Structure 1
Amino acid sequence: MGNGARGYEKESRSGRGLALVMESGSAEMIRGTENGRQGFVHSALLYHSRREYLDAVVPFVLEGLAMDEPVLVAVPGDQLGLLRDALGGEGSTTGLQLVDIVEAARNPSRFLALEGSFVEVNADRRARIVSQVCWPDRTADEFSACKQHEALVNSAFEGRQLTALCLYDAERLADDVLTSACATHPVLWKGGSLQPSADYSPDDVLAQCNQPLPANPGAVTYMVRKSSDLRPARSFAVNYAGWVGLSQDGIEDLQLVATELATNSLMYTDGACRLAFWRDDDHLVCEARDNGRLDDPLVGRLDPGPTGPASRGLFLVNAISDLVRTHTASTGTTIQAFLRLDSSTGPIS
């Protein structure tokens, strides 16, 4: 380890931090995962201070590297800098990947693909992930998508040799977000030790987040009933995008999003797709409505690869969009994709 890492260890051992976590928290997790017995461990830390944050995350990362477990750390940029300092430059260590999650997963629906890729690349060994999908500056719509993501992680990585630590700022996040953290994580870090979550109920969270998305009465619409309608639908979308001021890159993205959503409807439903477009503050929204039902909530969130064309379209929509909202029921499915009108990186309001 570098000198900075040793310095942090010495500082923590002089207090209650690393020693406590090593004895009853992270070490407990490690003992349980020896010889692959534990499978997927999905834990959450609701932290109240920077000290508590570092006392959990830094040992978790360093222990993983010491055990030859690759570690992905995906947190907001300011926290990334904090961890780099605490790790003493360990960001260049083989096996450690640092990612600014604000840039990589502004759309929470695409973070699972990043995690999945990391797990697949390291499929020959146990791996670790530290993530902070729910950072405080997100909006209500984004938080709803974050809750869905955390609930789906459990089934996405069931049986995989993976230990995940998800971070929640208990001082700045709303109570409903913290409550959801307890419902989507089977184990919680409390007082330096892992404890089962008595409120674990990910299916309930998914049901709560699957709420109808009201149609916008001011939207412009285009009906796609057959494949020959796709080209004029793209032209319709381009004209509207130019009118509201979407950039050239954004227009190309919109064409792809509209095409993939409409094509998906034509392939997997027996009816038409109603495309709708409107401006929502600093974003252009592309909505697709059809009479089908999306039975697998993981569709479009994990890279389907070249042999999985059925979900390739929705995967591309998630990869391109700044936010994707979905509601599905026996009466039909609605998908809303948000595209930013400018190059800013602020949250969707």
Structure 2
Amino acid sequence: MTLTFDHPALLYNGLDEYTSVVGAYVRSAVTSGDAVMVAVPEVNLTPLRDTLTDVRAEVVFADMTVAGRNPGHIIPGVLLAFAARHPGRHVSIVGEPIWPSRSAIEYPACATHEALINAVFAGRDASILCPYDVTGLGQDALADAWRTHPVMITREGRRPSPSYADPIETADRFNQPLPAVPPEADIFPYATAQDLSRVRAFVADRARKAGLPERRIDDAVTAVNELAENSIAHTDGAGSIALWSEADCLIVQADDHGIFTDPLAGRVLPPLNVPGGRGLVLVNHLCDLVRVHRRPDGTSIRVHLHGLQL
């Protein structure tokens, strides 16, 4: 049997249309015996859950503003994790990773996620419906929805997207330069494995001084150590860490001269018998946002951790 993956985008206008169309999708999936998850922002989650009282017990609900706060975590930590809990069953998921209050710095990671779903789930027995708010989102985001989804659902019905393109090439459209590192950032260079302990100490010290809670300092230290360790293992070894704070957020950027070649790195766990390949998945799990920029002369990876106590 050939397994097919269905990845439509729903362009919805208003809450009534949202709950009607998404509710019908969920009920149909439950009736078909699918494993069903709804992962959408809380503003839509509560009214949708309230309209699904007849099938609510058969559905897993998740607030995407929490579970998907980092778009890079959604594929491994939400979608694939749910599918793995239901081997042998068709899974139907409502996933809404892009909403109007997503920031401009988050958006390229969101659009990259939407494109790469098609590569990760190709050949899997799954359906993922992605709602898009046509009144709250800008025209660029709606145009990207047509590029990243093979099928679109509008008021006129369901039809193939004429703008859909190869998911890897589409994801590469969002390989956008990061904002400049501010001049006040603390910089720490590294070159060998012997430098890693000093990298960890540097991050812990600066994160504590910036006001990051103790429970999150370990997250910052572990994430940055993984980035530096990857640089040392897979490049000429020379790299640097830049660290600063903005509003309630600690930001760390790792720069090296390695060429980032695997677009799915950090999205898919390798088989258990394959060593390595899990570092960026862990970084995506620990951080509130991860942005990757592949430069002509190397790679920049910037991570955000919220919660500074100012």
1:129 equivalent in structure 2: 93
Distance, in Å, in 2 between the alignment partners of 1:98 and 1:207 is 31
Question: For 1:284-305, what per-residue CA distance to the aligned partner results, in whole angstroms no more than 9, with x for missing partners?
Answer: 1111111111111111122336
TM-score (norm: length of structure 1): 0.84
- RMSD over equivalenced CA pairs, Å: 1.8
Deviation at 1:37, TM superposition (A): 4.8
2:171 is equivalent to residue 206 of structure 1? yes
**2:221 is equivalent to residue 255 of structure 1:** yes
Residue 30 of structure 2 aligns to which amino acid in structure 1? L
Q: Is the 8 A contact 1:265 1:273 kept in 2?
A: yes
Unaligned runs of 5+ in 1: 1-35, 345-349
Q: Identify if the C-alpha distance between structure 1 residues 308 and 111 changes in structure 2 by more than 3 Å, giving closer, same or farther.
A: farther
Which residues in structure 2 correspond to 1:310-329 (within 5 Å)? 310-329=276-295
Q: 1:43-58 maps to which residues of 2 (within 5 A)?
A: 43-58=8-23
Letter aligned with residue 187 of structure 1: V
Question: Where does 1:111-190 land on structure 2 (aligned, <5 Å)?
Answer: 111-113=74-76, 114-190=78-154
Contact 2:3 2:124 in 1 (8 A): no
- Quote the residue 2:67 is aligned against: 104
State the alpha-carbon separation in 2 of the partners of residues 343 and 298 from structure 1.
34
Counterpart pick for 1:295 among 252, 255, 261:
261
Q: Which residue among 251, 257, 281 is the counterpart of 1:285?
A: 251
Distance 1:334 1:138, change over 3 A: same
Distance 1:133 1:343 in 2: 27
**Deviation at residue 120 of structure 1 after TM alignment:** 2.4
Displacement of 1:190: 2.0
Shift in Å, 1:81: 1.1
Q: Does structure 2 conserve the Cα–Cα contact (< 8 Å) formed by 1:183 and 1:200?
A: yes
Q: Map Cα deviations across residues 166-193 of structure 1 (whole Å, 9 max, x no partner).
A: 0000000111111111110010012262
Give, in angstroms, the shift of residue 84 of structure 1.
1.4
Identity of aligned residues (%): 37
- Cα deviation for residue 309 of structure 1 reads 4.1
- Contact 2:150/2:164, CA 8 A, preserved across alignment: yes
The correspondence for 1:75, drawn from 17, 23, 40, is 40
Q: Is the 1:292–1:330 Cα contact (8 Å) retained in structure 2?
A: no
82-91 or 99-108: which moved more? 82-91
Give the number of the structure whose alpha-carbon radius of gyration is greater.
Answer: 1
Query: Aligned-pair distance for 1:89?
Result: 5.4
TM-score (norm 2): 0.94
- Distance in 2, matches of 1:222 and 1:209, equals 28
| Post-superposition CA distance 1:125-172 (Å, at most 9, x none) | 211110110011110111111100000000000011111110000000
- Relative to structure 2, which stretch is displaced further, 229-238 or 192-201? 192-201
In the TM superposition, what is the alpha-carbon distance from 1:306 to its structure 2 partner?
Answer: 3.9
Change in Cα spacing, 1:92 to 1:160, as seen in structure 2 (3 Å) is same
CA distance in structure 1 between the partners assigned to 2:275 and 2:295 by the alignment: 23
Q: Distance in 2 between the 1:290 and 1:263 partners?
A: 11
CA apart distance, 1:250: 1.7
Secondary structure at 1:209 match in 2: coil
Worse-superposed segment, 149-158 or 277-286: 277-286
8 Å CA contact 1:180, 1:205 repeated in 2: no
2:159 paired residue number: 195
* Matching residue of 1:341: 307
- Secondary structure at 1:146's aligned position in 2? helix
What is the CA distance between 1:308 and its match in structure 2? 4.3
User: 1:260-275 to 2 correspondence within 5 Å?
Assistant: 260-275=226-241
How far is the alpha carbon of 1:218 from its aligned partner?
Answer: 2.0
Q: Are the counterparts in 2 of residues 84 and 90 from structure 1 also a CA contact under 8 Å?
A: no
Do 1:69 and 1:126's aligned partners in 2 also have CA atoms closer than 8 Å? yes
Change over 3 Å in CA distance of 1:184–1:171 after alignment to 2: same
Whether the aligned pair in 2 keeps the contact of 1:219 and 1:276 (CA below 8 Å) is: yes
Q: In 1, Cα distance between the equivalents of 2:132 and 2:301?
A: 28
The aligned counterpart of 1:25 is none
